[in-house]
Structure 1
Amino acid sequence: MPVSFIWPAMLLLLLALPAALALYLRLQARRRRLAAAFGQAGLRAGTPGGRADWRQHAPPALFLAALALLVVALARPQAAVGLPRLEGTVVLVMDVSGSMAADDLEPTRLEAAKAAAQEFVRNQPPGVQIGVVAFSDNGFAVQAPTDDQAALLAALDRLTPQRGTSLAQGLLAALSVLAADAEQTAPRLYTNREPAPPVTPTPVPAGTYTSAVIVLMSDGENNENPDPAAAARAAADRGVRVYTAGLGSAEGTMLEVNGFTVFTQLDEARLQEIAQLTDGAYYRAEDAEALRAVYEDIARTWVTRTDEMEVTALLAGAGLLLLLIGAGLSLWWSGHLP
């Protein structure tokens, strides 16, 4: 594991440690001479064979090791450490069509979806990037993927019911957001070559792109082109899972829209098809509690990312621990500090 130092000049203090060791050995030799002068021949009471008791030297050795660790800590070492953390990108695709104003999911379908999405945002760790896409008869990015919770909560709060419904436009807008996010994270190198024409991505098995998922919150009603199944297959070809949450009741309800009374109901079959095509999952959100469960089941990826971090505190703590152990042993064995 490579180690670097912020203040490498402090390592020069390590040169004092051999001098401290030499001083200790000199003091021990002087102590033995004094003992010989009094006729004890270097023996301690209860020590067989005339050998010096090893316990006499253990505390000073611990003190010396502790000083070495503390000196290294003064140099503020940094090491590349691999830390596991939760990462990934989640794109929330919110249906803002007129039918989302229905109240068969209290207070309304859209407000219940917004509340659950906002709670999901608040509970995410910093490594998870969240984007917001809204769609009615067209799809548009409301918020690019970010871990800025304030921006995400404000983006969700701005959503209001609009016009018709095109599920495909919402899915295609989410795929565009993911593509743009991947392009931003890729390294940009200078070149004088002519830009290559865009290449159609090679299809991959459904669900194999684990870095990102799409969460589609909708009642499943669709009255605009293109075909939602075609958009789902486009997501599947990129390996992106789509989790769908059905909002509303299968029995349906009446809704006032621009002075007209219309009937709206949950289209579970369409949402189930989208989830199945992309190797995702479908959830029936009958109430706010079930809606929260949708987000709890979303799979994100634990990754180990290597970051350079300062380990000064670790070494300083180890040094202090050795000092305490050395002091404790010295007091226990000889009744005084060395």
Structure 2
Amino acid sequence: MTFIWPVMLAALILVPLAILLYLWLSQRRRSLAANLGSMGLADGVTESKLGKRRHIPPLIFLVGLTLLLFAMARPAAEVSLPRQEGTVILAFDVSGSMAADDLKPTRMEAAKAAAREFIQVQPASLQVGVVAFSESGFAVQPPTNDHEAIISSIERLSPQRSTSLSAGIIASLNAIAVGFGQPPLVDTDLSESPVPTATPLPDGILTPAVILLLTDGENTAPPDPFPAAQIAADRGIRIYTIGIGSAAGTTLEINGFSVHTQLDEAVLKEISQLTGGEYFYPENEADLVEIYKGITPQLVVKSEQMEVTPVLAGASIFILLVGGLFSLMWFNRLP
């Protein structure tokens, strides 16, 4: 336990002084009663008639006073409270295939609309970051609880070139690391640098961070996404993959060329299974909104310093009232 105003603890010196004052008054009262009794002026007024209960109200008052003086120092205790907390990275595929309209109005716009609804209902304890990836990946919004900034960064997204799922995963991992005050984990191009080895977390231990990978799953640019997914799994970071598009696919006109694009569910399922996440397939924008609602932050128990002055002050006042009630009931006076 710590104290915001520790100097006020000096007021506790009043407690032993109050005890000495009570003892002195009791001795004085006994002497006065004895003198009056010897003169026949206080018939029947003796300590034995009042009994030991005459000390109970003052004792209760003393406890209440001690608590009140203790509360003046504004004590703070470490309290473990369950709360929804963590980091969610929204990793958007911004490749050219996300302009397809097999998910109305387009894959990209449906994903953005659902993300906006998801962000608006999240608690302040949840940090949300936004990553965009095509041939490479980068964080367009570091993890924050500023909903306006997050939505603004999503609105700026637009379809670009080809798709590297690995780049999206690595950029998301780096955004999580930076959000936790750590340096970026790895380079986004695993094909040019060795895959870093991480000490896997024990089974069942999860980092309070998840990645929502919104993509059509077509990995059209190197490197392979599975080594990157394994890095996430070793760090206890789950990847929830959301398949945008349809298995039948559609044909797009990109730079004068006709390109057929279709959802690759097999890759997305394997990524989610590898990391302990889950794969979702929305058939329309409403389904996508429901998927977002089903992905909730992890419930964690976190120790926080909490000032307990109101609790102690309230308890002291209650105790003082109880002492006063007993004194009025038994002696028709306050101690």
Normalised by the size of structure 2, how large is the TM-score?
0.80
The structure 2 residue matched to 1:201, chosen from 197, 204, 220, is: 197
Compute the displacement of 1:269 (Å).
1.9
Tell me if the contact between 1:207 and 1:240 (Cα under 8 Å) persists in the aligned partners.
no
Counterpart-to-counterpart distance in 1, 2:129 and 2:15: 56
The structure 1 residue matched to 2:160, chosen from 144, 155, 162, is: 162
Counterpart-to-counterpart distance in 2, 1:250 and 1:331: 82
What residue in structure 1 maps to residue 55 of structure 2?
Answer: 57
Tell me if the contact between 2:78 and 2:306 (Cα under 8 Å) persists in the aligned partners.
yes
Counterpart-to-counterpart distance in 1, 2:327 and 2:113: 63
Counterpart-to-counterpart distance in 2, 1:143 and 1:274: 24
Q: Equivalent residues in 2 for 1:72-221 (5 A)? A: 72-182=70-180, 184=182, 200-202=196-198, 204=200, 208-221=205-218
What residue in structure 1 maps to residue 302 of structure 2?
Answer: 305
User: 2:275 aligned with 1:271, yes or no?
Assistant: no
Tell me if the contact between 1:207 and 1:280 (Cα under 8 Å) persists in the aligned partners.
no
| RMSD over aligned Cα atoms | 3.2
Change (3 A) 1:56 1:288: farther
Change (3 A) 1:245 1:67: same
Counterpart-to-counterpart distance in 2, 1:247 and 1:63: 69
The structure 1 residue matched to 2:43, chosen from 39, 47, 66, is: 39
Compute the displacement of 1:139 (Å).
1.5
Matched to 2:319, the amino acid is L
Tell me if the contact between 2:92 and 2:130 (Cα under 8 Å) persists in the aligned partners.
yes
Change (3 A) 1:115 1:326: farther
What residue in structure 2 maps to residue 46 of structure 1?
Answer: none
Change (3 A) 1:323 1:231: same
How many aligned positions are there?
A: 319
TM-superposition CA deviations, 1:71-117 (whole Å, max 9, x none): 11222223333333333322211111222233333333222222322
Tell me if the contact between 1:207 and 1:278 (Cα under 8 Å) persists in the aligned partners.
no
Partner SS for 1:184: coil
Q: Which runs of 5+ in 1 are unaligned?
A: 44-49, 187-197
Matched to 1:245, the amino acid is I
Matched to 2:44, the amino acid is Q
The percentage of counterpart residues that share the same residue type is: 53
User: 2:322 aligned with 1:318, yes or no?
Assistant: no
Tell me if the contact between 2:198 and 2:231 (Cα under 8 Å) persists in the aligned partners.
no
User: 2:327 aligned with 1:330, yes or no?
Assistant: yes
Compute the displacement of 1:335 (Å).
4.2
Change (3 A) 1:329 1:82: same
Normalised by the size of structure 1, how large is the TM-score?
0.80
Partner SS for 2:50: coil
Tell me if the contact between 1:208 and 1:240 (Cα under 8 Å) persists in the aligned partners.
no
Counterpart-to-counterpart distance in 2, 1:200 and 1:228: 14
Counterpart-to-counterpart distance in 2, 1:151 and 1:139: 19
Matched to 1:6, the amino acid is I
Change (3 A) 1:61 1:271: same
